[in-house]
Amino acid sequence: MADLSIDVAGIASPNPFWLASAPPANTGDQVMRAFDAGWGGAVWKTLGDPIVNTSSRFGALDYAGGKVMGLNNIELITDRPLAVNLREIREVKRRYPKHAVVVSLMTETKRDWQTLVRKVEDAGCDGLELNFGCPHGMCERGMGSSIGQEPKLIAEIASWVKAVARTPVLVKLTPNTGDIVEAAAAARQGGADGVSLINTIKSLMGVDLERMVPNPRVGDGSTNGGYCGPAVKPIALHMVAAIARGMPRYPISGIGGVATWRDAAEFMALGSSTVQVCTAVMHLGYRIVADMIDGLNEWLDAHGMASARELVGRAVPAYREWGDLDINYKVVAHIDPTTCIGCQKCVVACQDGAHQCIFTGPGDRARPPHAHAPGKARAPVPFPFGAVAGDRVPWVDEPECVGCNLCQLVCPVSGCITMQELPGGPKQTWNERVAAGTARVPGGIHDESDAT
């Protein structure tokens, strides 16, 4: 078994799986039950001046029969007295000394921040997370994302906290900003020991068309909330990777749609040391961590990694500018007739949504007028009658296939459509072409007629 223990910005944890600062980490009882289930750490739901919440608070996006692909909330920070939270933090640390207990904070003045930091550190927490991210409610009061959208404020408040903090400080960043690296750089400039991201994305979940009120509905109105869950993972991965690439070795705790060990491994490969989870726990409960621990262990063992630390940042070098990709690399789609079930979703996707190079039935086909390849599309001979789908098995006009992946993405049968590598030219990037003068910016391939 691999060693799953890890630390982020000096906060040690028995494994990379933390509860994010959110409803699952609202109370001491919850955090202790989560630790019993296997979670390595928890970021306590944001402390500050206790607030008043609305009813209702959450909205979800369901997709294609699946529930809660995305979740939105308009719940604010803790509504429980500070003294109660502090007492419970102390109790959790006493009973779980090796687990990571980080406390999320949000308040206003320098004095408030510094007082709050001292109190929670006195309660025994292992680190602090500054909530500069909530895009609903608190931002209207000059907190949350209204700080995270302003690099100068990020740096300034981080420096207030660092001036008194004895434990490591993470700044939780909002994705509702133009350049996430600028925000992370501001946190580092203010002295923060690392960042955690992403906080939720500003969102409206939908509209109740009968009442003409957006969701989640609070009486006769609604407000924008914070969006999270599996749907936001790609946005989060990009922002994590952008910081990992732009600020090498700056500690990151990744957040955004993590639901499985594989999601976690992806965040880690792109530079996160720990991951924080909220929506998946709200949907399925603390128990999901058992598979996260198992799965990551199995994967690390299978890939010869003795420690989860070896995984952190592995994929960062492969995240490049478009201009640094090899434009001579070539793949084409291949449909396995033995596993094809004949749904022909790939045909429609290619014809309507891609590059018109998948056809059905035997016999040659005329290529569309805009085709790159000359002549007709040639059906395979003999025609590949499928094991189960017979002559409903589609075929790929390989010379015309641009290797876009769309057919593979829509195919319901895993492994039926594969993208196969063809010999391309020698590796060459767009930036190399520009540097060599064989292409120019902006625009496409150099056109002789333009030169005259």
Partner 1 sequence: MSTFLAKLPAGRAEAALPDKKPPMSAAEAKLEAERCLYCADAPCTQACPTSIDVPGFIKRIASGNVCGSARLIFAQNLLGTSCSRVCPVEVLCEGACVLEAWQHKPIAIGRLQRFATETARREAPGLLAPGARGGKRVACVGSGPASLAFAATLALEGHEATVYERRALPGGLNTTGVAPYKLHADAALAEVDWVASLGVRIRTSVEIGRDVAAAQLLAEHDAVFLGLGLGEDTKLGIPGEDGPGVVGATAWIEDVKLRGCAQPPLGHVVVVGGGNTAIDVARECAQLGAASVTMVYRRAPADMSGYAHEMEAARKDGVALVAHARPSAVIRDAAGVVKALRVTVAGAERDLSCDLVAMAIGQSKLRAVATQFPGVALDARGCVVADPTTGTTGHPKVFSGGDCVNGGKEVVNAVAEGRNAARHLLRTWSGTHG
Interacting residues toward partner 1 by CB under 8 A? 64-65, 341-345, 347-348, 360, 388-389, 392, 412-413
The residue assigned the tokens 């999901």 is 288
Q: What does the alpha-carbon distance between residue 256 and residue 235 come to, in Å, rounded to a whole number?
A: 8
Residue 412 CB, nearest approach to partner 1 (Å): 5
Q: How far is the CB of 386 from partner 1 (least distance, A)?
A: 9
159 vs 344, beta carbon nearer partner 1:
344
CB of 347 to partner 1, least distance (A): 6
In terms of DSSP bridges, do strands 213-215 and 274-277 run parallel, antiparallel, or are they unpaired?
Answer: unpaired
Q: How far is the CB of 281 from partner 1 (least distance, A)?
A: 24
For partner 1, which is the closer residue by CB, 236 or 358?
358
> In the numeric block, which tokens belong to residue 47?
């402390």
Q: How far, in Å, CA of 69 to CA of 60, rounded?
A: 7
Smaller CB distance to partner 1: residue 178 or 412? Answer: 412
Active-site residue, from 134, 228, 340, 407:
134
| Least distance in angstroms from the C-beta of 211 to partner 1 | 16
Closer CB to partner 1, residue 162 or residue 345? 345
Name which of 151 and 394 has its Cβ closer to partner 1: 394
With contact defined as beta carbons under 8 Å apart, do 33 and 90 qualify? no
Cβ proximity to partner 1: between 139 and 389 the closer is 389
Q: How far is the CB of 318 from partner 1 (least distance, A)?
A: 33
CB of 207 to partner 1, least distance (A): 14
Residue nearer to partner 1 on the CB measure, 391 or 398 = 391
Has 134 been annotated as catalytic? yes
Dihedral sign of CA atoms 355, 359, 363, 365 in order: negative
| Residue closer to partner 1, measured from CB, 260 or 360 | 360
Q: Taking the CB of residue 184, how many other CB atoms lie within 10 A of it? A: 27
Q: Is the dihedral of CA 226, 230, 235, 239 positive or negative?
A: positive
> In whole angstroms, how close is the CB of 403 to partner 1 at the nearest point?
22
Angle between helices 233-246 and 180-189 (to 10 degrees): 50
Q: Which residues are catalytic?
A: 134
